[in-house]
Chains A and B, each alone.
Chain A
Amino acid sequence: MTTQLRHTRVGTSAVPRRRIRAKHRKNLIGWLFLLPAVALIATFTIVPFFQAILLSFQSWDGISPDIPFVGFENYDRVLQDEIFWASMRNVLAFGLIGFVVGNSVALVMALAVTRVKRGQAFFRTAFYLPGVFSVVVVGTMFLWIFQPRVGILNTLLGAVGLENLQQNWLGDPSTALLSVAATFVWYHWGFAFILFLAGLQDIPRELYEAASLDGARSWAKFRYVTWPQLAPVTSIVSVLTLLAALQIFGTVQVLTYGGPGYNTMVPTLHIYIEAFTNNRYGTAAAMSVLFGGALVVLALVQLAVAGRRLRR
C-alpha cells in the first residue's frame, strides 16, 4: 500500500516536488548566507553566555589553571553583598531618569525639529552629535564642566550671580547621581531623537489634515494622531533606552568610579571591579547572571506591555 501510494504521489506530483527541491535550495542558500553571522554569534555570544553561567559556579582568579567548582558559594556571596544591592538601587534611579527624562527630551526635540521649516538637517546633526563622541571624551568634558573650583558650570553660575547654586557636583552625594544621570541623558538622547524623528516623518499628513478638519488642536492631534502612530517606535525606543540606562558603565567609570563612597556605584562597574581588580571571576559571573537575568525579565515585561498597547 505504501509503495503504491508513493508511486502514485511521485507520478502525479513531479512539479510540486521540484518546487519543494527549489524551496530547499533557497533555504540552503539562505542558511549559507546566515552561516557567518550564526557562527560569529555562537562564538562570541552564545558560548560566552553559557561559559559565564558555568563560571558562576566556579572559583577563578583569571590566571590559575585550576578552576574548582564551588556550587552556589558565589551566589551566596552576591546575595550578601550590600554593595551589589546598593548598586542595583542606583541603577534603577539611572534607568528611571534615562527612560523618562531621556525619552521625553528626545520626543520633544523630535517634535520641535519636525515643525522647523528650515535647518532640519542642522538640528538633526547637532542633536545627534553627542552620541558620536567616545564615552571617555564625554567623561573628560563633563569632568571639567562639573569641576568644583574651576569648572565651567560653577564659573557660569558665579558669573551670573547664582553663587548659591554652585555645587560640588560630582563630589556631593546629593548631586553626584543626578550629575552622572544628566551626562548620560545628554550623551544618549540623540539615538532616541533620531528614531522618534523617523517615526514622526512616517505619519501620513492626511491624518493631521483630517484631525484639523475635525477641529482638533495641537494637544488633540498629539494625543489622538501622533502618540498612537508613534507606538511601534516608542516601544522599541523604550526597550533600548531603558536597557542602555540600566547598563550604564563608561559614564560612571570616568566621572565618579561609583563614588563618592558607593553613591553612584552601578552593577556593571561593580562586576568589572570584582573581576578585574579583585580577581574574583566566579563572583563577577554570578553577579552578571543575576543582573543579566533581571534585564532579560524586564525587557520581556516591557515588550509584553508594549505589544498589548500595539494590539489595542
Chain B
Amino acid sequence: MRTQPTAVHVRPRHRRAPAVAGFMLVAALLLNGCGSSSGDNSAGQDDSDGQVELLFFNQSRGQEETLTALAADYEEQTGVSVTIESPGPGNYLQDLQSRAQADRMPDLYSATDPFEMAPYFNAGWAMELTSELDGEWEETFSPAAVDLWRFADGNNLGVPEGIYSVHWETALYAMLVAESTGISPDAPPETMSEFTARLSEEDAQFSVAASLTPRLLMSYASNFMTDEELEATLAGDAGWETDAWRDTFQLLIDLRDAGVIASDEIPGGTEDNPGVEQSFFNVRDVEAIFDGTFGIGVQRATAPEFTEYFSTGVPAADNGTHEPRAVARRGRGAVVNPKGEHPEEALAFARWLTEPEQQQVFSDEVGMIPTSAELLDSGSISPELEGFAALAEDAQVLPGAFMAADVEDAIARASQSLVLGEISVEEALAQVQAAQDQSS
C-alpha cells in the first residue's frame, strides 16, 4: 500500500516542472493580454518614417466604401494615411464607449444623435468648432444645415454652447409614396385627410417603423406648435399633456380608423425600419411609408429597378395652426478628437471631406442631401431626394433641446399601443410625460 503513494509522488515530480512552467506561461500570456499597453492600439500614430496615420471610426455602413475610397485619395494628395474602421451601426456606440473608457478614442468619429453624443462632448472628446467655422469654411455650407449642428446655451443635454461636429449630409424625414397609389409628385395631397382618403380609395397601405414614430409625430406636431414650443416640450419646460400634442397623437388613431395602416400595427423590433423599407421597396405590399433620406440608399442597394416612387413632406393637418415643418437631423459627419495625437491633421481631413468635390462623391455614391451650399444651389440632387431637399430650408431647428432616448422609446411604444387600441391618446401622453420626467 505504501509503495503506491511513493510511486504517485515520484512520477509526477518529473512532469511538475513543465506543468508549472506551462501554467506560468499561460498566466503570463493572459496577464499580458489583459494589460496590453494602450499605445499598441492608440489612434493617430506617426509611423517609423514620420507619416501621419489617422483613425476614423465610422458608424454608417452605407458610406463605408465611399469613405474608404476618399481616404485613399486623401492619402495620395497629402500623404496623411486615414484608416476607416466600421464596427457596424449596431455596435458603433458600444465600441466607441469602450474606446472612451480605455482612453483609446479615434482621431475622428461619426456623430450620431445629440443625446448619444452628449456624454462625449461633455467629457471633452470633441473639438469645439465654432471658431473654425467662422468665415470661409462656414460659407461653403447651407446656413440651414449649420444651424442644425449648434448646441444652444443652456440646452437640456448640458453641452456647452457650440458646434462639435461637421456634416456632409442633412438627414430629413418625409413620406415615400409609390406611384401605384395614383398620387402624383406634381400634385401631392395637401392635407392629411386628403392623403388618407387617396390611400383608402386605392386600397393602399401606409407603414411607419416604431423607431421613426417620434420623427413622424414631431413633423406633425409642427402643425400645432412653433419651434420654440416644441423645444420647450423636449426640454421639459412644457408638458406633453396639452391639446397640441393630443391633436398630434390623434393622427395615429385617424390613420388606423381609416384602415390605411398596414396590418393594423406599427412594426417594432431592432429591425423595424429595414422591415418597413423591405415592404415598400422589395415586397411592395405597402404603398406609402414614412422614412428618412437614408432610405434612398437602401432602395439603390436592394431594389435599383424600383424607381416608381417619390418623396414628399408629411401633409398638413386639417386643423393645423402653423405651416408644417419637417424634422431634420445632422446626417453623416465627423467629430474631431482634440485629445488625439494629430488633432490638426484630423480637422484638416474633416474639412476636406466637407468640400463640395467630396460631398458630390458622397451624394453620387451614397445618395444623400449634401450640406454644401454650392451643391444644393446647383440642383444636382437625384430625383428621389427632391421631395426631401425641398423640405430642408424650412425644417425644424431646435438647438436648445433634444429628444431624450427615454422619450423617443416611450413615443415609439405608445404609438404601437395606440394603434392596437390598447391605450388612449391621454394614456399615451401620460406615458411620454413619465419618460420625460425620468430623463431629466
Contact of A260 among B119, B283, B404, B420 (CB under 8 A): B420
CB distance from B261 to the nearest CB of A (A): 11
- In the bound complex, do residue B420 and residue A172 qualify as a contact, i.e. CB atoms below 8 Å apart? yes
Query: How many of A's residues come within 8 Å of B, CB to CB?
Result: 43
| Docked complex Cα distance between A33 and B16 (Å) | 11
B184 cross-chain contacts in A, Cβ below 8 A? none
Residues on A with C-beta less than 8 A from B224 are: none
Task: Decide: A36 and B265 in contact? CB cutoff 8 A.
Answer: no
Whether B263 lies near A43 (C-beta < 8 A) is no
Name the residue on A nearest B9 (C-beta): A22
**A273 interface contact, C-beta 8 A:** yes
A36-B27 contact, Cβ under 8 Å, with A62-B97, A63-B119: yes
Interface residues of A in 1-59 (CB under 8 A from B): 19, 22, 25, 29, 32-33, 35-36, 39-40, 43
Q: A29-B16, A261-B417 are in contact. Are A273 and B263 (CB under 8 A)?
A: no
Known: A63-B119, A273-B409. A256 touches B269 (CB 8 A): yes
Write out the residue numbers on chain A whose beta carbons fall within 8 Å of the beta carbon of B414: 261
Q: A260-B420, A261-B420 are known contacts. Are A171 and B270 too (CB-CB below 8 A)?
A: no
Interface SS, B side: helix
Q: Is the CB of A262 within 8 A of B97?
A: no
Are B5 and A22 in touch, CB under 8 angstroms?
Answer: yes
- How far apart are B176's CB and chain A's nearest CB, in angstroms? 18
Q: Write out the residue numbers on chain B whose beta carbons fall within 8 Å of the beta carbon of A22.
A: 5, 9
Residue pair B119, A62 in contact (C-beta under 8 Å): yes
The answer to the question of B100 belonging to the interface, with a C-beta cut-off of 8 Å to chain A, is: yes
> Chain A nearest CB: distance from B23 CB in Å?
6
Is there contact, CB below 8 Å, between A143 and B271? yes
Q: Is A302 an interface residue (CB 8 A)?
A: no
Q: Assess whether A63 is in contact with B265, with CB atoms less than 8 Å apart.
A: no
How does the 8 Å CB contact mask read for B113-136 relative to A, with 1 for contact and 0 for none?
A: 000100110110100000000000
User: Which A residue sits closest to B97, measured CB to CB?
Assistant: A62
- Verify if A199 is at the interface (C-beta below 8 Å from B): no
Contact yes or no, A259 B413, CB < 8 A:
yes
Interface 9-mer from A114-122, A206-214, A275-283: A275-283
Q: CB of A309 within 8 A of chain B? A: no
Closest to A140 in B: B271
Docked complex Cα distance between A266 and B146 (Å): 41
B119 contact from A19, A36, A61, Cβ within 8 A: A61
CB distance from B198 to the nearest CB of A (A): 21
Q: Mark A61-80, 1 if CB is under 8 A from B, else 0.
A: 11111000000000001000
**In the complex, what residues of A have CB within 8 A of residue B100's CB?**
62-63
Query: Can you name the residue of chain A whose Cβ is closest to the Cβ of B417?
Result: A261
Question: A35 contacts B27, CB within 8 Å?
Answer: yes
| B contact residues around A36 at 8 Å (CB) | 23, 26-27, 30
Residue B297 is within 8 A (CB to CB) of chain A in the complex: no
Q: In which size bucket is the chain B interface?
A: 35 or more
Contact between B405 and A257, CB atoms less than 8 A apart: no
- Separation of A259 and B189 alpha carbons in the complex (Å): 32
A250 to B207, CA, bound (A): 25
Contact of A256 among B268, B285, B439 (CB under 8 A): B268
Neighbouring A residues of B93 by C-beta, 8 Å:
276
Q: Tell me which residues across on chain A come within 8 A of B404, comparing CB atoms.
A: 278
**A32–B268 CB distance below 8 A:** no
Most buried by B among A22, A63, A65: A63
CA distance A64 to B438 in the complex (A): 20
A residues in contact with B416, CB < 8 Å: 259-261
For the complex, give the distance between the alpha carbons of A62 and B20 in Å.
40
How many whole Å from B271's CB to the nearest CB in chain A?
7
Tell me if A278 and B420 are in contact (CB < 8 A): no
Q: Is the CB of A257 within 8 A of B263?
A: no
Cβ of B34: which chain A residues have Cβ within 8 Å of it?
Answer: 43
Asked if B420 and A33 make an inter-chain contact with CB atoms under 8 angstroms apart, the answer reads no
The answer to whether the Cβ of A254 comes within 8 Å of any Cβ in the partner chain is: yes
> Known contacts A61-B119, A148-B263, A260-B416; is A278 also within 8 Å of B406 by CB?
yes
Whether B23 and A32, one on each chain, are in contact in the complex, defined by CB atoms closer than 8 angstroms, is: yes
CA–CA, A92 and B172, complex, Å = 42
B267: CB under 8 A from chain A?
yes
Q: Within the assembled complex, what's the spacing in Å between the Cα atoms of A32 and B26?
A: 12
Known: A43-B34, A62-B119. Contact between A254 and B269, CB under 8 A? yes
Assuming the contacts A171-B265, A273-B409, asked whether A32 and B20 have C-beta atoms less than 8 A apart, the reply is yes
**Is the Cβ of B420 less than 8 Å from the Cβ of A277?**
no
Interface check B262, CB cutoff 8 A: yes
Min CB gap B238→A, angstroms: 22
B405 lies within 8 A of A277 (CB): yes
A168 to B265, CA, bound (A): 9
Q: By the criterion CB–CB under 8 Å, are A64 and B123 in contact? A: yes
Chain B neighbourhood of A171, CB < 8 A: 263-265, 267-268, 420
- Scan A273-312; emit 1 where CB is below 8 A from any B CB, else 0: 1001111000000000000000000000000000000000
The answer to the question of B210 belonging to the interface, with a C-beta cut-off of 8 Å to chain A, is yes
What are 11 pairs between A and B in contact, CB < 8 Å? Answer: A19-B5, A32-B20, A36-B23, A65-B123, A81-B438, A143-B275, A149-B283, A168-B263, A172-B420, A260-B416, A278-B405
